[in-house]
Amino acid sequence: MELDKMDENEWRYHGEGNKSLVVSHVQLSIVLRLLKYPAEDSENPPQTVEQAFRQVQNIVDFSSNVMSCLLGEKFVHSGEVVKLPLEFVRQLSIKVQHQRPAWRCDKVMDIYSGCALCLPNLTSPTLHQPTHTPTLCIEIKPKCGFLPYSKHVSQDIKTKVCRFCMHQHYKVAMGTWKRRSRYCPLDLFSGNRQRMHFAIRQLIDEPQNNLKIFKGGRCIFSSMDGIEDSMDLNSLLHHLRPYFQYGNNRINSHMTSKALLTDFIQVVVNALLSAGGGDGGVGMDRRGEGRSFCEASPFNKERTRHGSQGSPSDSVLYRVRQTQMLDTLDIEGLYPLYRRVEQHLRDFPKERTRLQMDGPYNEAFLEKLHKCPSEDDGSLEYAVSKVHQYRVAMTAKDSQIMVALVPSCEEEEDDEGLPGQRQHRDFLSSRPPAFSYSVSILDLDPKPFDNIPRQLRLDQNIVSCYLRSSCALPKGALPSHSGIFTAAEREDCTLLFHPV
């Protein structure tokens, strides 16, 4: 890629989240991830070019020096900061505007700084021996996979029902989504194949922003139109069918939709549970802590034949969950420590730099993260360490897992994997046809220190809303798939939520 000869026609809209917009190159297997700003800032850039550059560099450093050590290098692609010509960025912004989902247009692409992150395109990895079959890619945003076990948790419900399942009630009440998802992260992270299968099936039924499927680098299944349902199961099955017609199925050219979906999910489960060997990151083993079932999950516990032992310690799920569990105190226990740090910074503003509240994310930061007294000794250092650990856990709770699959055939069995991606590659050799695969973790940006009060408010709102809506359900009734709150009640909700 020659930065001085950038042509917007060689790039297309790929996707976006809350903070960044991603475009992919039409030929090369790379993407550019550009910052987004609130639309009201579109006339005046909210930060200088230097600040934008620092922000993107911080993302790279946080990913490569911190998250990669915890999650395992093989899963993490930190990319590099690039400085793009402003005219190219402006033209690109115009070109992609009409493809952006309306619900994301409260933010605009940064057209002022020219800074972007260049990453390998994980939805269409280049193969040493190119195959004619396009890569199939599944992106899952699993969210928090454990129940808090901290003594600081004030509401018993938080130790029984997971944050995602409670949050679903709040999202529906607020009109974010029309229906609640029946996906539960504790099922996905359980390591139990039946529960994982069930979890992925629920994601397919109600993808929200937790599931996207790509074929040949193009998104073929998601609910990116927000509350308008855009996903179509039949169309997904149509795309999947050629990958799963095998043996007798191929000859008979008929495979039931159920069998097709079962095989597809099985391949994804295999990839999520598989190892990849090598480095495994440096997380703490907390597998035994906390309950492993969420009471709101519709998965019937009786169906679990062999219990849930947790995922293998070298799998992506294990690494993500271990890192999430650096949130040992829960937001309720963390908040007083945030206040301790905040008070100190108010008294000594220059300390913000020494304490690395906004980076740099280097070895010294990692050391602060690890060197934490086991008990609160009342020190600033303890509070800072815990705040840093919490922010790292937040990043892991909001990250995405990308599984890229390519059907493997004998001629390809000697190649060296999915190049451009340092992670492992293996053959999934169970009943469905063998696939070579790569697993990556995306969106490993640092979460700002100043977001912590918002986290506490959101936590209180979610719990209040859940308690209110679960009281509204008849005893023993399964959660319904419709909003519980009227517009007036929604207003009322806010009165219940305690201000911080």
Ligand X SMILES: Nc1ncnc2c1ncn2[C@@H]1O[C@H](COP(=O)(O)OP(=O)(O)OP(=O)(O)O)[C@@H](O)[C@H]1O
Partner that binds at residue 394, options ligand 5MY, ligand X, none, CB closer than 5 to 8 Å by kind: ligand 5MY
For the record, the structure tokens of 411 come out as 């001629």
| 88 closest CA partner among 105, 108, 113 | 113
Please, which residue, 166 or 269, has the CB nearer to ligand 5MY?
166
What single letter denotes the amino acid at residue 370?
Answer: H
Structural contact between residues 139 and 154, judged by C-beta atoms closer than 8 angstroms: no
Asked whether position 450 contacts ligand 5MY by CB under 6 A, the answer is no
Binding string, 383-402, against ligand X, x = CB under 6 A? ---------------x-x--
**Min. distance of Cβ 97 from ligand X in angstroms?**
16
In this structure, what DSSP letter does residue 357 have?
A: B
**Binding residue for ligand X (CB under 6 A) from 65, 121, 421, 436?**
121
**Binding residue for ligand X (CB under 6 A) from 158, 212, 397, 424?**
212
Please, which residue, 225 or 363, has the CB nearer to ligand 5MY?
225
Please, which residue, 138 or 165, has the CB nearer to ligand X?
138
Asked whether position 178 contacts ligand 5MY by CB under 6 A, the answer is no
**Min. distance of Cβ 17 from ligand X in angstroms?**
2
Cβ-in-10-Å burial (0-12, 13-18, 19+) of 377 comes to exposed
Please, which residue, 300 or 451, has the CB nearer to ligand 5MY?
451
Chain residue whose CB lies nearest ligand X: 17
Asked whether position 209 contacts ligand 5MY by CB under 6 A, the answer is yes
Partner that binds at residue 327, options ligand X, ligand 5MY, none, CB closer than 5 to 8 Å by kind: none
Asked whether position 119 contacts ligand X by CB under 6 A, the answer is yes
Partner that binds at residue 31, options ligand X, ligand 5MY, none, CB closer than 5 to 8 Å by kind: ligand X
Task: Give me the torsion for CA of 193, 198, 204, 205, rounded to 10°.
Answer: 180
Asked whether position 139 contacts ligand X by CB under 6 A, the answer is yes
List all residues 6 or more positions away from 51 whose beta carbon is below 8 Å from its beta carbon. none
- Segment contacting ligand 5MY by CB under 6 A, of 13-21, 80-88, 328-336, 385-393: 13-21
CA–CA dist 436, 73 (Å, integer) = 19
- Segment contacting ligand 5MY by CB under 6 A, of 14-22, 90-98, 381-389, 401-409: 14-22
Asked whether position 227 contacts ligand 5MY by CB under 6 A, the answer is no
CA–CA dist 114, 90 (Å, integer) = 9
Asked whether position 398 contacts ligand 5MY by CB under 6 A, the answer is yes
Chain residue whose CB lies nearest ligand 5MY: 18
Residues 15-74 contacting ligand 5MY, CB under 6 A: 17-19
Partner that binds at residue 121, options ligand X, ligand 5MY, none, CB closer than 5 to 8 Å by kind: ligand X
Asked whether position 483 contacts ligand 5MY by CB under 6 A, the answer is no
DSSP three-state, residue 38: strand
Please, which residue, 407 or 446, has the CB nearer to ligand 5MY?
446
Structural contact between residues 139 and 401, judged by C-beta atoms closer than 8 angstroms: yes
Residues 428-467 contacting ligand X, CB under 6 A: 442-443, 445
Asked whether position 115 contacts ligand X by CB under 6 A, the answer is no
Partner that binds at residue 447, options ligand 5MY, ligand X, none, CB closer than 5 to 8 Å by kind: ligand 5MY
Asked whether position 179 contacts ligand 5MY by CB under 6 A, the answer is no
Partner that binds at residue 212, options ligand X, ligand 5MY, none, CB closer than 5 to 8 Å by kind: ligand X
DSSP three-state, residue 284: coil
CA distances to 72, 243, 344, 435, 482 from 407, in Å: 25, 7, 56, 4, 40
CA–CA dist 240, 265 (Å, integer) = 11
For the record, the structure tokens of 398 come out as 């909001």
Structural contact between residues 183 and 197, judged by C-beta atoms closer than 8 angstroms: no
Please, which residue, 255 or 394, has the CB nearer to ligand 5MY?
394
CA–CA dist 265, 259 (Å, integer) = 10
Residues 7-26 contacting ligand X, CB under 6 A: 14-20, 22
CA–CA dist 341, 352 (Å, integer) = 9
Please, which residue, 365 or 390, has the CB nearer to ligand 5MY?
390
Asked whether position 324 contacts ligand 5MY by CB under 6 A, the answer is no
Residues 324-383 contacting ligand X, CB under 6 A: none
Structural contact between residues 150 and 328, judged by C-beta atoms closer than 8 angstroms: yes
For the record, the structure tokens of 127 come out as 């193969």
Helix residue ranges per DSSP H, 174-245: 185-188, 193-205, 233-244
DSSP three-state, residue 13: strand
Q: What single string gives the DSSP state of each residue in 51-94? A: HHHHHHHHHHHIIIIIIHHHH-GGGB---EEEE--HHHHHHHHH
Beta bridge partners of 184: none
Q: What single string gives the DSSP state of each residue in 378-394? A: S-HHHHHHHHHHHHHHH
CA–CA dist 440, 29 (Å, integer) = 15
**Binding residue for ligand 5MY (CB under 6 A) from 451, 473, 481, 491?**
451
**Min. distance of Cβ 36 from ligand X in angstroms?**
7
DSSP three-state, residue 12: strand
What single letter denotes the amino acid at residue 133?
Answer: T
Q: List residues near ligand X by CB under 6 A.
A: 14-20, 22, 31, 33, 119-123, 139, 212, 398, 400, 442-443, 445
Q: List residues near ligand 5MY by CB under 6 A.
A: 17-19, 167, 209, 394, 398, 447, 451, 458
